[in-house]
């Protein structure tokens, strides 16, 4: 196997090379064991999983968009809202519609959070259940 038998002249030379045959034998046995046991490990219960699809956001006509510009001006759909009381009235009117519309908030990149926070507070006080934030995907350009 891995032993060097000295020749008959009495001077036995020691062989310094490594005999890799036993190592290869052991590795082949391990490889065969792994190949046999892997299908047993990966066996699972047969079932049909649902197929997922990626559907882009569809703007429904009942959705309402509230925009907040850089100066803090609030827009309901496309028209400017003069004050917080007018915004609260619009929100209360939208909250009683069945089914309740989803509110989409669009904030300017440079707007202070305070202005957007006021809108969110008004939506919460008005009883709006669904609020979403609209943003643009990052395309790596700044």
CATH number for the domain spanning 84: value is 3.30.420
Residue 130 lies in a domain: yes
Number of separate domains in the chain: 1
C-alpha–C-alpha distance, residues 76 and 66, integer Å: 5
C-alpha–C-alpha distance, residues 44 and 131, integer Å: 41
pLDDT-based confidence at residue 7 (cuts at 50, 70, 90) = low
Q: Over the range 23-45, which residues count as b (16 or more CB within 10 Å of their CB) and which as e? A: eeeeeeeeeeeeeeeeeeeeeee
Residue 21 lies in a domain: no
Model's pTM, two decimal places? 0.55
Residue 1: partners with Cβ closer than 8 Å, 6 or more residues away: 19, 21, 22
C-alpha–C-alpha distance, residues 18 and 28, integer Å: 18
pLDDT above 90 for 99? no
Residue 110 lies in a domain: yes
Q: Give residue 8's pLDDT.
A: 58
pLDDT-based confidence at residue 135 (cuts at 50, 70, 90) = confident
Q: Give residue 11's pLDDT.
A: 64
Residue 105 lies in a domain: yes
Residue 111 lies in a domain: yes
Residue 70 lies in a domain: yes
């Amino acid at each position: 196997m891995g032993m060097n038998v000295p020749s008959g002249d009495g001077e036995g030379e020691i062989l310094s090379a490594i005999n890799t045959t036993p190592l290869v034998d052991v590795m082949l046995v391990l490889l065969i064991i792994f190949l046999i046991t892997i299908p047993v490990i990966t066996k699972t219960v047969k079932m049909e999983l649902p197929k997922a699809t990626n559907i882009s956001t569809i703007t429904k006509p009942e959705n309402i968009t509230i925009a907040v510009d850089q100066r803090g001006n609030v827009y309901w759909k496309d028209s400017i809202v003069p004050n917080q009381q007018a915004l609260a009235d619009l929100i209360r009117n939208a909250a009683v519609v069945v089914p309740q519309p989803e509110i989409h908030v669009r904030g300017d990149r440079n707007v202070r959070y305070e202005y957007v926070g006021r809108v969110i507070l008004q939506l919460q006080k008005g009883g709006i259940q669904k609020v979403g934030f609209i943003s643009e995907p990052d395309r790596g350009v700044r």
